[in-house]
Amino acid sequence: MSSVTVSGPGLIQGTFIPPGDKSISHRAVMFGALSDGESSYTHFLEAEDCLSTLEAFRAMGVSIDHKKGSGKITIHGVGLRGLKAPEREIYLGNSGTSMRVLMGILAGQKFEVTLTGDPSLTSRPMRRVTDPLKKMGAQIKGKDNGNFAPITIRGGKLKGIDFDNHLASAQVKSALLFAGLYAEGQTKIRETISSRDHTERFLQSAGASFKRAGQWLVVEKTEHLKPFHAEIPGDISAAAFFITAAAMTRGSSLTVEKVCLNPTRTGLIRVLERMGASIQTTVTQTDPEPLGIIQVQGRKLKGTRISKDEIPSLIDELPILMTAMAVAEGESLISGAEELRVKETDRIHSMAVNLNRLGAQLEELPDGCIIRGGAKLYGGKVTSFGDHRTAMSMAIAALTLEAGEVVIEDTDCVATSFPSFFDELNRLRK
């Protein structure tokens, strides 16, 4: 178990190109594997979670060319019905996206497979996916009636259902959209609050029988998907740590290039601007995913409120926003974020414990927290709780210290999403 020490205070200055987007990298492998023909991608995120997805499809007979460190992958697609039964259970490490979305694909196959993962993943709730897939006709077994992995799924003859995505979960939605490609009749998903829409964009580009109708997403049985040749945009969830660091430290100046600007992912920018941040965005590409440039100048921020409707567009960025709120002027409130309690760890608890150790004032709520800003932070020892976003948020907190250093224990988890984070932090901090 490794630890990292980050001294403070510090500024962020320079130019940063984020690693490939994690959500899009997962889906790139999935759609490439299910397409008819060869797909190729550049700027693929070579983090443990995405590599878990890659290895899962290799285990099911998909040939994937990947040279470590190149960011390039070539996937020799086998079509929607060309996957083969793996020789053993599929291990997905810490990746909730891999497990939840993959279940939707497996629901349409003609073989049985067991999905498992590390202790964190096997403690995360899965019934949100398994229950609707069972209604579609999949046979699923797991602990607590299919709520926890290991989960065994046997595909079957599926039928379309109407589903209200009240959790505003992109993982649940994506699983059902994939299952709908194999189902008789229409699979209809209603979203009153939009979650990230990367799967929908892939479906449209791949030529699937898919459409949007108001609040409804409608998918029908599809025979073929077109292959892809694309550059994966930079991950705004990875860039969020340095964007927020620059925004909340006076004297900082940061330019982020080639970053995903999909509006379902940019809630962080909207909240920081509401807090008084100086941020300018420029869109340089619109299809298939908006991407562009973000420029940030540091200044003193003020507190704000984040409500349930905003959560889906910044769910992964809430830990780093808590850090900014701890030192901003005035009080902040986060509500409607109970989903944070069932991530890789309980992120509400992990951030409250760690920031309070450094001198912040965070009060936990069942669905969020109250943050009394204006804190003067000092050095101390914190732990990641095994969660990559908690670990990276605490490293950024060190830049706001009055004095001292932050010792972060158990930092191996950062490799699940951003293996080069600490190298980039050392390069950008002044």
3-state class (DSSP) for residue 41: strand
What pLDDT is attached to residue 312? 93
Mean pLDDT per block of 10 residues along the chain (430 residues) reads 93 97 96 97 96 98 96 98 97 96 97 96 95 96 91 94 94 98 98 93 96 96 96 96 97 97 96 98 88 97 96 96 98 96 94 98 97 96 97 98 96 95 97
For residues 125 and 99, the answer to whether their CB atoms sit within 8 Å is no
User: Does this model's pTM top 0.75?
Assistant: yes
Instruction: Please state whether beta strands 362-365 and 368-372 pair in parallel, antiparallel, or not at all (unpaired).
Output: antiparallel
Alpha carbon distance 370, 363 (integer Å): 5
Q: Kindly state the helix (H) or strand (E) to which residue 257 belongs, with its residue range.
A: strand 253-260
With beta carbons less than 8 A apart as the criterion, state whether 411 and 19 touch. no
> How far from chain centre, in Å, is Cα 310?
15
Tell the burial category of 8 from Cβ atoms under 10 Å away from its Cβ (0-12, 13-18, 19+): buried
- Nearby residues of 65 by Cβ (< 8 Å), 6 or more positions away: 73, 74, 75, 76
Given 316, 346, 410, 423, which residue is catalytic? 316
CB 386 within 8 A of CB 396: no
In angstroms and rounded to an integer, the radius of gyration of the C-alpha atoms of the chain is 21
pLDDT at position 146 is 82
Going from the C-alpha of 202 to that of each of 22, 29, 428, the distances in angstroms are: 15, 11, 34
| Phi, psi (deg, nearest 5) at residue 357 | -60, -30
Contact 337, 365 (CB under 8 A): no
DSSP for 104-127, please give it. HHHTTSSSEEEEE--TTGGGS--H
Q: Is 289 helix (H, G, I), strand (E, B) or coil?
A: coil
Please name the amino acid found at residue 383: T
User: What is the reported pLDDT for 156?
Assistant: 84
At residue 415, the pLDDT reads: 93
User: What's the confidence (pLDDT) of residue 145?
Assistant: 85
Distances (CA, A) of 292 to 74, 259, 307, 367: 25, 6, 27, 33
Q: Which domains does the chain have, with CATH numbers?
A: 3-19+233-428 (3.65.10.10), 22-231 (3.65.10.10)
Q: Which tokens go with 312?
A: 């889906």
**Residue 316 annotated in active site:** yes
pLDDT of residue 287: 75
